[in-house]
Structure 1
């Protein structure tokens, strides 16, 4: 099986919406990392201290054939067509370990859904 990593940077208020949409489109789970970020505009300051926007990084490790559907669900649910709502991109994954137990369960579920 070939895997891809979908990374999405979003405002914390829409993280759950995006994860739910991605799961409905085929993602089996997500890892969420709180982060800070800056965009094209200057960071705001308050008494000389920089105020950086809070963001969540959502990571989805998915099978290659699921990428388009999941990425589309992330885009729609996150309203990425609106400025400043978030971004998502896909990276190739060379090797994966630790999914052996999940792979057997997945193969069983796929067989059962087709027969």
Structure 2
């Protein structure tokens, strides 16, 4: 039941309307996609200001499950494209994933690559 591959989950939280930048950046760096969840930030006031900049309470969370060997490249791409190095743009962090189920397309791709390699080399 457990998948032997090691994965990371990149969680990116941005203001409403910026999730497409995150998804596009992650795909450019090797991710296959992501899941967008809509939410709302909470605080003392519905709309707060930080250094005179209005902070939007509506948020988009992007969950990107990625093989561990691609994590740094995808995270860096997200940071650059979504401008997370600038104040008020958002945040991203990485969580290690211990177990996964349901990632069948990756296993199918690996089996097809092995089959194609065997066919090319004349194996049956």
Q: TM-score, normalised by structure 2?
A: 0.74
Residue 59 of structure 2 corresponds to: 55
Post-superposition offset of 1:29: 1.2
Q: TM-score, normalised by structure 1?
A: 0.80
Residue 12 of structure 2 corresponds to: 8
Which residue of the other structure, out of 44, 66, 83, is the alignment partner of 2:70?
66
Q: Give the secondary structure class of the aligned counterpart of 1:13.
A: coil
Post-superposition offset of 1:110: 9.3
Residue 103 of structure 1 corresponds to: 107
The runs of 5 or more residues in structure 2 that have no matched partner are: 48-55
From the CA coordinates, give the structure whose radius of gyration is larger. 2
Distance 2:101 2:77 in 1: 27
Change (3 A) 1:36 1:28: same
Residue 51 of structure 2 corresponds to: none
Distance 1:111 1:71 in 2: 32
Q: How many matched pairs? A: 106
Change (3 A) 1:111 1:66: farther
Post-superposition offset of 1:109: 5.9
